[in-house]
Chain A
Amino acid sequence: MSARGRQWLGTAAIVAMVLALTTAWAGWLNARSSPHYQQAGPGAFADPVPEGSMPIRLASLTATPVLLTDRDQVPSAAGTVWVVALLEYQPPPDGSFCMVDLVAVDGRRWSTVSVLEYTGERGHEADCLAKPGEREPVAELLYQVPEDVVDELAGLASSSTGYRGLNPYWVLTPPG
C-alpha cells in the first residue's frame, strides 16, 4: 500500500472510531434515560422498582363513580371515575414503601389522590409502611382518571423513573 493510501486508511479508521464512540455513547444515554416496562403476570407479585425494593401484588383494580368512606359518599369529578387499587405486599425486615402510578397501555400515568381529597376513612391503609408482623400488609391506593380511559388501564408501575440502568420496570397487573 502506498504512503497516501495508508494515510487515507488511518484517517478513515479514526473517523469511524469517533463515529462509533459517538453512536454508542448516544445510544447508551438514550437507553439509560428511557425506562422500559414489562407486564407482570395477572395478580402476581413483582418488585416495581428495578433496583429492588419490595414485592407487591395488585389484588384488584376497581373503577367506581362514587367513593364510599365511613363518613361520606364522594362522587368523582365530572367526567372522571375513582380507581381503587388494592395491594398486597411482602415487606422486608426494615419495612419499605410503595410509590406507584396507575398506568395505561399507552404509557400515560396518574399519581395517587391525596387522602385530603375526601373525608372519612376507607377500610385499608393508604401506604405500604407495615413491617413484618406489625399489621396486615395490605394497602389501598386511590386514583382519579378520565372515565374514557378505564378500559385502557394496564396496572401499576413505579412512580420513580430515576433508575439509570437497563433492567425493566415491572407493571403490576390485576388478576383476571
Chain B
Amino acid sequence: MTARLRRWLVAIVACAAMVGLHAYSGEFPNEHVSRASVGTPAALYDATVTVNSYAIGQVLYNDTLFQGRSGVIYLAVNITIANPRGERSVNWQVGGEANGRTFAANDLLDMPQPGFRITQDVVFELDPADLAGFTVSFLHRATIYAYDPKIVVDLGITAERADELLAADRYATVTTVKATPEVIR
C-alpha cells in the first residue's frame, strides 16, 4: 500500500466516523418526512396521528373567548392522537406550511397518556390566500434521532376548493373542541 493511499484511507475512515457521530448526536435538525392524507392514521414515535377534518372562519370561538381580526381567517384542523401502549412524548411540534411560508399553531398539542387518545383542534391564523395547498406537519424532535420523523398531511385544498370554502365559510365562526382524553378499547 502506498503512503498516499494509506493517508486517504485513514482520512475516509475518520470522516465516516465523524459523520456518523454527528448524525447520531442529533446536532443537525435533519428530518425524515412521511406523507399522509386526511383520514389516514400515520405513526409518529409511539403514537398515531390522524387528521380528521378542517374548518375555516373569520371568527374563532375557543372555550369562552371569541376572537377575530380582519384580513385573516382561522383554519381549525381536527386531529386525533392515539397512544395505545407507548411512552408519552412531549417533544411533538405541530406546524403548517403553504406558499413557502410556515405557520405556528395557536396552541400546543395535548399528548395522550398510554392507553388513551385525544381528539383536539389545532388552529392556524392565516391569510386567505394561503389556504390553498395548506399542509399540516407533525414533528417529533429528539436527540435519539439522526433524522427527526415528520408527518406532513396535505389537507387537499386545491385553489378551486379554497375558493369554494372561502365563499361558503369565510365569515363563519370556528368553534374548537376541548381536548378530552378517551380510553382506547
Pairwise interchain contact B20-A22, C-beta atoms closer than 8 A = yes
Asked if B85 is at the interface (CB within 8 A of a chain A CB), the reply is: yes
CB-based contact A15/B87 at 8 Å:
no
Give the Cβ gap from A110 to chain B, nearest Cβ, in Å.
Answer: 5
Chain B residues 1-26 with CB under 8 Å of chain A are 1, 3, 6, 9-10, 13-14, 17, 20-21, 24-25
Question: Chain B residue with minimal CB distance to A111?
Answer: B113
**A174 and B109 alpha carbons, distance in the complex (Å):** 33
A79–B1 contact, CB under 8 A? no
Query: Is A33 a contact of B185 with CB atoms below 8 Å?
Result: no
Contact, CB under 8 Å: B114 / A11: no
Residue A146 lies at the interface, judged by CB distance under 8 Å to chain B: yes
What string of 1s and 0s marks CB contacts (under 8 Å) between B75-95 and chain A? 000000000011110000000
- Inter-subunit contact A79/B13 (CB<8 Å): no
Contact yes or no, B14 A18, CB < 8 A: yes
Q: Is A105 an interface residue (CB 8 A)?
A: no
Contacts A11-B6, A110-B114, A111-B88 given; does A18 touch B17 at CB 8 Å:
yes
Whether the Cβ atoms of B13 and A26 lie closer than 8 Å is: no
Partner of B6, one of A7, A19, A109: A7
B88–A11 touching, CB < 8 Å = no
Whether A36 sits at the interface, judged by CB under 8 Å, is no
In the complex, the answer to whether A11 meets B10 with C-beta atoms within 8 Å is yes
Cβ contact within 8 Å between A8 and B87: no
Query: How far apart are B151's CB and chain A's nearest CB, in angstroms?
Result: 23
Q: Is the CB of A7 within 8 A of B3?
A: yes
Q: A7-B1, A33-B143 are in contact. Are A18 and B115 (CB under 8 A)?
A: no
B183 within 8 A of partner (CB): yes
Q: Is the CB of A145 within 8 A of B1?
A: no
Given contacts A18-B17, A22-B20, A77-B182, 10 further A-B contacts (CB under 8 A): A10-B6, A15-B13, A22-B17, A26-B24, A79-B183, A79-B185, A109-B88, A111-B88, A148-B115, A149-B115
29 A-B residue pairings within 8 Å (CB atoms)? A8-B1, A10-B6, A11-B1, A14-B10, A14-B13, A15-B9, A15-B13, A18-B14, A22-B17, A22-B20, A26-B21, A29-B24, A33-B143, A77-B183, A78-B183, A79-B182, A79-B183, A79-B185, A80-B183, A104-B114, A107-B87, A108-B87, A108-B115, A110-B88, A111-B88, A145-B115, A146-B183, A148-B115, A149-B115
The 8 closest A-B pairs by CB, nearest first: A79-B183, A146-B115, A108-B114, A110-B113, A22-B17, A146-B183, A18-B17, A80-B183
